[in-house]
Structure 1
Amino acid sequence: MKIALLCSGLGHVARGHEVFARGLFDLLRGEVDITLFKGGGEPAEREVVVANLPRRAACLERIHFTGSPHWAEAIREQERCRIEALTFAYAALRPLLEGGYDILHCLEREVCEVLYAHRHLFARVPRIVFSNGGAIPARSLPPCDHVQEHSAWNLRQSARGKAFLIPHGVDPQRFHPGVPAGDFRTRHGIPADAPVAISVGTLCYWHKRTDHVIREVAALPGWHLIAAGQENEDSPAIKALAERLMPGRAHFVTLAHEDLPQAYAAADVFVLGSLFETFGIAYIEALAMGLPVFCTRHPNQQAIVQEGVFLDMKQPGALTAALRDTPAARLDELRARGPQIVQRDYDLRVLRAQYLQHYRRIAATPAQLPAWTLRRRIAANLRNLLGRAGRVFGV
């Protein structure tokens, strides 16, 4: 059984999506014949760097769009990601065709679409698995053979007969309450006795809503905020907002994933301003570290976090009130329960067996190309007739 795991963003950015790809590869590389196809970085054993047009390429800096200026950055970011994934997918075709893989596990929908459309090129037709990192409902899923969902809420909306559930996981040996904060507070000018909230995610308006978190924490005298994440075009304005509302109390850091535990250890609580997450790896990292989680009251997040402080993130002042008024005894309960939840449901060592079980099942499933049926014949004839009519009438 040979598996190809494909992630175009890996090597370019370090969001939860890419953390998942790296973590899954490292989890399984000693257990199964798996190769990681990534968009950037250096080649390594069983790691193939695929040439592509990365989302941060200078030639993509001036994308034209039609729409509300409020969504300008979100639209441009989506288009940059789409181009990166498409160029990655076509460039990956040759090594995939030469590799003889049984399973192609795709993390981007564009990659999944391209490979599924070209599966007839493979000497042995692979099974194509899509990891649904965007909570795409069944009607909008890309064509694929199997779908990995990451939560029970997402599974209920997915494609029946194709979908299976394996949540994101975390390594409790790296993320746990005993991790020392070291000199993190000192290096960033955070007083030893100051209450600190940490938010982990891209510094932006349109998804993680970093500006909302800043406004809510700024209203609490003496509180500090650690905002750890990738920067983008929104980031300068967000930093300026923090400097205006809470000067000296907001600390922006971009960290390698292996350095995140120390940042979590320097905080007292975890907050995320987004209104919905497909999963949110940062939630379970915070749980594993023993941090109380303050997040949106969405059924998906409630099912994933299980025990946290859930609130209406759209409501101004709700996060401020929750941070200020949640009883200390309740916070202590959450600090104790988080690591227990992770050990039971999200420990990578537990999830490893689930991945191997599903991969073996999928690899044993016969792969079939579309059959030439009467329905397909009629559809092809109709397309040909419409094409001829268009040429004749100049349509």
Structure 2
Amino acid sequence: MIQELIRSTGDRLKVNNKKNKKDSYKITIIHPSAGVNWSGGSEIFAIEIARRLSTYFDVQLLSGAECGDFSRISGGIPRAYTYDLINQPLIKNFVHRFANHPEIIIEHLTNFLPCFIHCLTNPTDLIFPCNDYGGLAVAAAVRAIKGTPILYTEHNSLLAQGKCLTRNLRFSPDRLIVYNDKTAAFARNIKSKQQVSIIPNGVDLEKFTPQGSKIDFGLNKPIVLCVASLNRNNHKRVDLAINAVSHLPQASLVLCGDGPDKDYFQSEGDRLLGSNRFKICTFPFDKMPEVYRSADIFTLPSINEPFGFAYIEAMASGLPVVATDDEMRRYIIGSCGILCDVTNPQIYAQALSQVLQANLQLNPQINALRFSWDAVALKYRDVILNTIKKIYS
């Protein structure tokens, strides 16, 4: 790790100092959905890491909408702006013949040229794409011309048997960030010389806390909270949570999120739980701390969840967790909940009931301290300094 100050070959001071922003390293972060989609993990990551790295570097986030004094509109079309259009019945049948997620392809294509031109005409010391292969393509094109190094965090981890990671490694980022040893080993197996660092995601411990105002959902208590995008075809498996809570005679489920299958999940919740025990809510991100502290327990039955901001946000808010029993959940949640076979409704419901009965000695807020954004940002700072020094030395 580099803790000392670094000087360029021309002896220009590259100080991590707000007072000397014009002399500090320039970092360009790319995510055209940031500021538009507030439920996506990579979008939240881009904003939070940009905000905190601004303490050490001159940071600019190319985003879909204004999300801080460090952001600049990327110039293309964010995926959320095209989703409703391309899912109209006549259009959907046509475009989905060519791509499973055409809205993402549209975002990548329309943002490539404006982001590429911006990075060429506004010199930067490192490009940090956070929007998968679209941003990586921009960064790789700029590097081919100017030699600018690329830092990339793989938010998909080993989803789809590592298909996304395998594809993204073809862009040869100068430094790859992953969440765990298993993903790092997978990457090195594909590219033995790939530089890899392991850094978890973070949580804002000043925002997400048990203390503060709460929301009355108007449902029977206790409240089970699930935060997820509402898509039957993704890995969140929200239907398992609805089914499990239906086996508890008193508890209610608040499903916080939005997506193409909202009506389907509303129907399922009404059928299995009823209006006095089920509600779907959508809140802006700055309201989420209040949402978490208004519940009694958090659950998210995802399969192969790469990391999951919602777990650490819930724990920071004082909530115990019931989730899928896998390697990543064991690392994140530890003893602050129950991990189980969520595909078995009886086992899943029993785990929820056991945690709700408060028979476990849990301290989720203490566990969440491991994922402080400030600590995560320091690790990214050191990796960025190492990457830049290696390229320009």
Normalising by structure 2, we get a TM-score of: 0.82
Q: 1:41 to 1:115 in 2, by over 3 A?
A: closer
Partner of 1:362: 387
Q: Deviations over 1:210-236 (max 9, x none)?
A: 22211111221121111111x222111
Q: Deviations over 1:178-223 (max 9, x none)?
A: 2332xx11xx3124xx111001111222221222211111221121
- In 2: Cα distance, 1:66 partner to 1:312 partner: 37
Partner of 1:11: 35
Q: 1:51 to 1:196 in 2, by over 3 A?
A: same
Partner of 1:156: 185
Tell me how far 1:329 sits from its aligned partner. 4.8
Partner of 2:157: 135
Match of 2:176, SS state, is strand
Partner of 2:52: 27
Partner of 1:266: 294
| Pairs aligned (count) | 348
Partner of 1:321: 350
Is the Cα–Cα contact under 8 Å of residues 62 and 72 in structure 2 kept in the other structure? yes
For residues 190-209 of structure 1, the aligned pairs below 5 Å read 190-191=219-220, 194-206=221-233, 207-209=235-237
* Structure 2 counterpart of 1:134, one-letter code: N
Q: 1:17 to 1:156 in 2, by over 3 A?
A: same
Whether 2:285 is the aligned partner of 1:257: answer yes
Q: Deviations over 1:60-79 (max 9, x none)?
A: 23244699xxxx9xx64x33
Match of 1:148, SS state, is strand
Partner of 2:75: 51
Whether 2:326 is the aligned partner of 1:298: answer yes
- In 1: Cα distance, 2:206 partner to 2:122 partner: 34
Q: 1:151 to 1:305 in 2, by over 3 A?
A: farther
Q: What is the RMSD computed on CA atoms of the aligned residues?
A: 2.4
Tell me how far 1:82 sits from its aligned partner. 2.7
For residues 117-132 of structure 1, the aligned pairs below 5 Å read 117-119=140-142, 122=145, 124-132=146-154
Percent identity between matched residues is 23
- In 2: Cα distance, 1:302 partner to 1:155 partner: 17
Match of 1:178, SS state, is coil
* Structure 1 counterpart of 2:151, one-letter code: V
Q: 1:64 to 1:114 in 2, by over 3 A?
A: farther
Q: 1:209 to 1:270 in 2, by over 3 A?
A: same
Q: 1:323 to 1:46 in 2, by over 3 A?
A: closer
Tell me how far 1:12 sits from its aligned partner. 2.7
Normalising by structure 1, we get a TM-score of: 0.82
Match for 2:304 among 254, 271, 276? 276
Is the Cα–Cα contact under 8 Å of residues 245 and 349 in structure 2 kept in the other structure? yes
* Structure 1 counterpart of 2:332, one-letter code: I
Partner of 2:365: 339
Unaligned residue ranges in structure 1 (runs of 5+): 369-395
Match of 2:225, SS state, is strand
Tell me how far 1:326 sits from its aligned partner. 4.5
Tell me how far 1:274 sits from its aligned partner. 1.0
Match of 2:240, SS state, is helix
Q: Deviations over 1:256-301 (max 9, x none)?
A: 1111111111111100021121100000011111111111111122
Match for 1:312 among 341, 357, 362? 341
Unaligned residue ranges in structure 2 (runs of 5+): 1-24
Match for 1:235 among 224, 247, 262? 262
Match of 1:294, SS state, is strand
Q: Deviations over 1:291-326 (max 9, x none)?
A: 111111111221122222101122233211211244
Tell me how far 1:327 sits from its aligned partner. 7.7
Partner of 1:212: 240
Deviation beyond 6 Å, 4+ runs, structure 1? none
* Structure 2 counterpart of 1:150, one-letter code: Y
* Structure 1 counterpart of 2:265, one-letter code: I
Kindly name which structure, 1 or 2, has the bigger radius of gyration based on alpha carbons: 1
Q: 1:43 to 1:218 in 2, by over 3 A?
A: closer
